[in-house]
């Protein structure tokens, strides 16, 4: 397969005798990424990527991408796949991959093992991001952890007593679909009032769009079609009251939801990642205020840390690597 110019790069090619490498794959809505990792560390030998959509089917593109990072000199112990959507990590069946709908019902583990003859592991991308931050990022040293990614949607990964929580069918840990506002705005899943519908970047933008349509004044009023999470954050930084209100609202719902999760899981750390968190105090301030006001006992906050993610854009690949090594 030929890769579009600029879509791949080599990071490291030195191979050590006796190594058993792992391949980590991050399957996103716009891009497929694969990386070859040595037995130790999180510096990849090679990373390559290609658009998810193209002339060839996504599965064929995925297999070609994996083939392109397979080493010739040493064996590979595992291929780990991180996929956005609902799936069963044990059976390998994808229930619902919103970005690649024709994968629904597919056994991706069997397909990949049949193609390469290498053991394959599968996980939800947000779950694996939590696993990656726990093993290699901001959560190192903690035994009970919650990771939340706040971006276009809201995803989570939960570590309980040093184990990733996935549930009986692999569907656990969907914090983005906690109902926080009954009869609230529609969520991307088709239900209403979920955390994702109010605290995600999409939820923040949609709130401002609705308010502008209702006649509220904002520096964004002149171009309602161009309103998105980034433009709302920029407007808030300039003092726009409606935009600040949108972030306060999103942070308040998120902080309350985190307090609920503290009551259930009693973690020592909550890690927040994703594009919305890059807005800094705009979101983190109201999150902390709502969280601290909502816990039933201050003991939940004793020796507790609320922090931001460390792995950045690498979190998808590093999370899949953590699964491969588990």
Contact predicate 151/203, CB 8 Å: no
Got the DSSP string for 221-268?
TT-GGG--HHHHHHHHHTT-HHHHHHHHHHHHHHHHHHHHHHHHH--S
Are residue 208 and residue 270 in the same domain, yes or no? yes
135 falls within a domain: no
Are residue 318 and residue 253 in the same domain, yes or no? no
Are residue 257 and residue 116 in the same domain, yes or no? no
137 falls within a domain: no
**C-alpha R_g of the chain:** 20
Tell me if residue 158 falls in helix, strand or coil: strand
- Measuring CA to CA, which residue among 266, 270, 263 is closest to residue 139? 270
Alpha carbon of residue 122 to chain centroid:
15
3 falls within a domain: no
Check whether 6 has a pLDDT greater than 70: no
Give the predicted TM-score (pTM) of the model: 0.91
Report the greatest alpha carbon distance in the chain: 68
Check whether 13 has a pLDDT greater than 50: no
Check whether 189 has a pLDDT greater than 60: yes
209 falls within a domain: yes
pLDDT band at 238 (very low <50, low <70, confident <90, very high): very high
Are residue 31 and residue 105 in the same domain, yes or no? yes
Is residue 189 exposed (0-12), middle (13-18) or buried (19+ Cβ within 10 Å)?
middle
Are residue 207 and residue 286 in the same domain, yes or no? yes
DSSP 103: G
Are residue 124 and residue 169 in the same domain, yes or no? no
- Measuring CA to CA, which residue among 115, 120, 140, 122 is closest to residue 130? 140
Q: Are strands 145-150 and 269-273 parallel, antiparallel or unpaired?
A: parallel
What are phi and psi for residue 149, nearest 5 degrees? -105, 125
DSSP 126: H
DSSP 278: G
Task: Give the model's pLDDT for residue 169.
Answer: 92
1 falls within a domain: no
The C-alpha atoms of residue 231 and residue 291 are separated, in whole angstroms, by 26
- Measuring CA to CA, which residue among 75, 52, 74 is closest to residue 65? 52
Contact predicate 98/126, CB 8 Å: no
The C-alpha atoms of residue 9 and residue 25 are separated, in whole angstroms, by 15
Task: Give the model's pLDDT for residue 19.
Answer: 64
Q: Out of 37-41, 99-103, 225-229, which region has the weakest mean confidence (pLDDT)?
A: 99-103
Q: Per residue in 249-300, pLDDT tens?
A: 999 999 999 999 999 999 999 999 999 999 999 999 999 999 999 999 999 9
Are residue 162 and residue 305 in the same domain, yes or no? yes
64 falls within a domain: yes
pLDDT band at 246 (very low <50, low <70, confident <90, very high): very high
Are residue 30 and residue 68 in the same domain, yes or no? yes
Are residue 12 and residue 161 in the same domain, yes or no? no
Task: Give the model's pLDDT for residue 14.
Answer: 37
Q: Give the CATH number of the domain where residue 182 resides.
A: 3.30.420.40
173 falls within a domain: yes
47 falls within a domain: yes
What's the total number of domains in the chain?
Answer: 2
Start-to-end CA distance of the chain, whole Å, equals: 31
Q: Per residue in 54-93, pLDDT tens?
A: 888 889 999 999 999 999 888 999 999 999 989 999 999 9
Q: Supply the range of the domain harboring residue 63.
A: 8-129+314-324
Are residue 90 and residue 234 in the same domain, yes or no? no
Are residue 176 and residue 34 in the same domain, yes or no? no
Tell me if residue 138 falls in helix, strand or coil: coil
Are residue 98 and residue 178 in the same domain, yes or no? no
């Amino acid at each position: 397969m030929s890769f579009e110019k600029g879509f791949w790069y080599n990071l490291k090619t030195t191979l050590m005798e006796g190594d058993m490498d792992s391949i980590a794959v991050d399957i996103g809505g716009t891009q497929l990424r694969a990386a070859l990792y040595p037995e130790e560390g999180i510096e990849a030998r090679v990373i390559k990527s290609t658009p998810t959509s193209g002339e060839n089917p996504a599965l064929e593109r995925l297999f070609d991408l994996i083939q392109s990072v397979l080493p010739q000199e040493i064996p590979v112990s595992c291929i780990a796949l991180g996929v956005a959507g609902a799936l069963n990590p044990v059976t390998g069946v994808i229930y619902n991959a919103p970005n690649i709908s024709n994968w629904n019902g597919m056994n991706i583990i069997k397909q990949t093992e049949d193609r390469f003859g290498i053991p394959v592991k599968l996980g939800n991308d947000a779950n694996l991001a939590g696993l990656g931050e726990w093993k290699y990022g901001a959560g190192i040293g903690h035994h009970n952890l919650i990771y939340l990614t706040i971006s276009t949607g809201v995803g989570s990964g939960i570590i309980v007593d040093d184990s990733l929580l996935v549930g009986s069918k692999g569907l656990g840990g969907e914090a983005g679909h906690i109902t926080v506002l009954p009869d609230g705005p529609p969520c991307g899943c088709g239900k209403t009032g979920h955390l994702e519908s109010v605290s995600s970047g999409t939820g923040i933008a949609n709130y401002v769009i609705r308010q502008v349509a209702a006649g509220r004044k904002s520096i964004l009023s002149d171009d309602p079609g161009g309103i998105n999470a980034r433009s709302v954050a920029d407007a808030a930084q300039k003092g726009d009251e409606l935009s600040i209100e949108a972030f306060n609202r999103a942070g308040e719902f998120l902080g309350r939801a985190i307090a609920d999760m503290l009551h259930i899981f009693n973690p020592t750390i909550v890690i927040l990642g994703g594009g919305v968190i890059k807005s800094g105090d705009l979101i983190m301030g109201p999150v902390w205020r709502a969280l601290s006001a909502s816990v039933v006992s201050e003991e939940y906050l004793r020796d507790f840390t609320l922090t931001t993610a460390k792995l950045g854009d690498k979190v998808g690949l590093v999370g899949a690597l953590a699964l491969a090594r588990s």
